[in-house]
């Protein structure tokens, strides 16, 4: 039995009904978040929910709950579904109304749905590193919004998967932006580089956690774009996301990065990252 949340209620998955007229379905007109669960506890939930509200604000949507209420809903889903390691997914759409591009009447309520799912950490990829494929970034110019409109991301991920890679390394005008569902970091001569948090990337919570760890460890960081060409010459590369954590990249388009194994600084950051996870319980 899996309990989902929708419109103020916890309901069994099989009993949920969504409207054919939901604007999420017609237009991808909504925003979402993914929150990690470790040892039955939510990780950085407040930051994720704050970003959900920022995304909603940017697309002029109102969320009919407070931030505290949404954190509590995520917590209750985790508890009632007895999730130990996994994640909570939350999405808000602009509601259900006959299809017209412009916003529906203010009386149309946004639709909030959420679920919690058991999902092991990708331990082997985190340990051994992954291959990525470079793909042109054809997404729109508001990548800072975690929107349900993910066609550009979906096409990039599929292209990477068809090439046997776990993630796409997106590049726009020769500059590396991010992954299709992750942020990218390069290390050269002890300095960490990552694209600045502007409209061309989604400013990941994991990205921000890593930047915080670098500051504590006094590792020099430059939030400065680097090119695809430069990425091949990095000593180390890694990606970050809620579900991927800190994942070493060992090759791009079949060309090895560094020695082709996870780098030393990446390993160190992984260790420090693991220490600040709730309950220190990173088990499967
Ligand atoms: C969600 C997402 C990320 C990673 O963000 P986290 O908060 O670390 O999970 C990076 N890029 C894109 C495009 C995303 O959608």
Catalytic (active site) residue 146: yes
- Domain containing residue 218: CATH number: 3.20.10.10
Q: Do both 32 and 102 map to the same domain?
A: yes
The pLDDT mean for the chain works out to: 97
Whether 54 is covered by a domain: the verdict is yes
The answer, yes or no, to whether any atom of ligand 1 lies below 6 A from the CB of 177, is: no
- Domain containing residue 28: CATH number: 3.30.470.10
Q: Do both 96 and 134 map to the same domain?
A: no
- How many residues would you count in the chain? 284
Q: Do both 65 and 171 map to the same domain?
A: no
- Give the position, in ligand 1's atom list, of the atom nearest the Cα of 51: 7
Whether 40 is covered by a domain: the verdict is yes
User: Where does a domain end: 118, 152, 169?
Assistant: 118
* pTM tops 0.85, yes or no: yes
Of 121, 137, 139, 202, which is best to mutate to test ligand 1, by the most ligand atoms within 8 angstroms of its C-beta? 202
pLDDT of residue 278: 82
Residue of minimum CA distance from atom 12 in ligand 1:
181
Whether 280 is covered by a domain: the verdict is no
Average pLDDT score over residue span 252-274: 97
162-193 pLDDT, tens digit each:
999 999 999 999 999 999 999 999 999 999 99
Sign of the dihedral defined by the CA atoms of residues 174, 176, 178, 180, in that order = positive
The answer, yes or no, to whether any atom of ligand 1 lies below 6 A from the CB of 55, is: no
Place of tokens 């470790």: 38
213-237 pLDDT, tens digit each:
999 999 999 999 999 999 999 999 9
Q: Do both 149 and 269 map to the same domain?
A: yes
CA–CA distance, 252 with 169 (Å, rounded to integer): 8
CA–CA distance, 28 with 31 (Å, rounded to integer): 8
Tokens of 227: 């090119």
Pick the catalytic residue from 146, 224, 229, 271: 146
Residue of minimum CA distance from atom 6 in ligand 1:
204
- Give the position, in ligand 1's atom list, of the atom nearest the Cα of 243: 9
Q: Count the alpha carbons within 13 Å of 189 in the hemisphere toward its beta carbon.
A: 2
Q: Using the predicted structure, report yes or no on whether residue 280 has a pLDDT greater than 70.
A: no
Count up the domains in the chain and report the number: 2
Tokens of 198: 């502007």
Q: Do both 130 and 236 map to the same domain?
A: yes
The answer, yes or no, to whether any atom of ligand 1 lies below 6 A from the CB of 204, is: yes
Max CA distance (Å), the chain: 59
Residues 6+ apart with CB under 8 A from 58: 142, 144, 145
Neighbours of 105 (CB within 10 A): 7
Tokens of 67: 């931030």
Neighbours of 75 (CB within 10 A): 18
Q: Do both 185 and 248 map to the same domain?
A: yes
User: Where does a domain end: 102, 118, 134?
Assistant: 118
In which domain, by residue range, is 80 found?
3-118
The answer to whether 226 and 237 have CB atoms below 8 angstroms apart is no
Whether 281 is covered by a domain: the verdict is no
Q: Which residue has the higher pLDDT, 284 or 20?
A: 20
């Amino acid at each position: 039995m899996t309990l989902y949340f929708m419109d103020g209620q916890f309901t069994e998955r099989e009993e949920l009904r969504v409207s054919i007229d939901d604007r999420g379905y017609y237009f991808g007109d909504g925003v979402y978040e993914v929150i990690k669960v470790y040892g039955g506890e939510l990780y950085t939930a407040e930051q994720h929910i704050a970003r959900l509200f920022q995304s909603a604000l940017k697309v002029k949507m109102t969320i009919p709950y407070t931030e505290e209420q949404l954190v509590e809903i995520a917590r209750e889903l985790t508890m009632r579904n007895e999730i130990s390691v996994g994640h909570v997914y939350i999405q808000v759409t602009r509601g259900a109304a006959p299809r017209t591009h412009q916003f529906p009447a203010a009386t149309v309520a946004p639709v909030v749905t959420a679920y919690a799912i058991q999902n092991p950490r990708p331990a082997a990829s985190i340990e051994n590193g992954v291959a990525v494929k470079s793909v042109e970034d054809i997404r729109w110019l508001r990548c800072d919004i975690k929107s349900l409109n993910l066609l550009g991301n979906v096409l990039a991920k599929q292209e990477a998967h068809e090439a046997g890679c776990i993630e796409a390394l997106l590049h726009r005008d020769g500059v590396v932006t991010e992954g299709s569902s992750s942020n990218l970091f390069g290390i050269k001569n002890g300095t960490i580089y990552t694209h600045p948090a502007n409209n061309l990337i989604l400013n990941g919570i994991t990205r921000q956690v890593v930047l915080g760890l670098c500051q504590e460890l006094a590792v020099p960081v430059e939030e400065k774009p680097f090119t695809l060409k430069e990425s091949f010459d990095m000593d180390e590369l890694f990606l970050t996301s809620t579900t991927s954590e800190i994942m070493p990249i060992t090759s791009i388009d079949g060309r090895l990065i560094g020695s082709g194994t996870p780098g030393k600084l990446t390993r160190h950051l992984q260790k420090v990252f693991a220490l600040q996870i709730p309950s220190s319980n990173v088990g499967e």
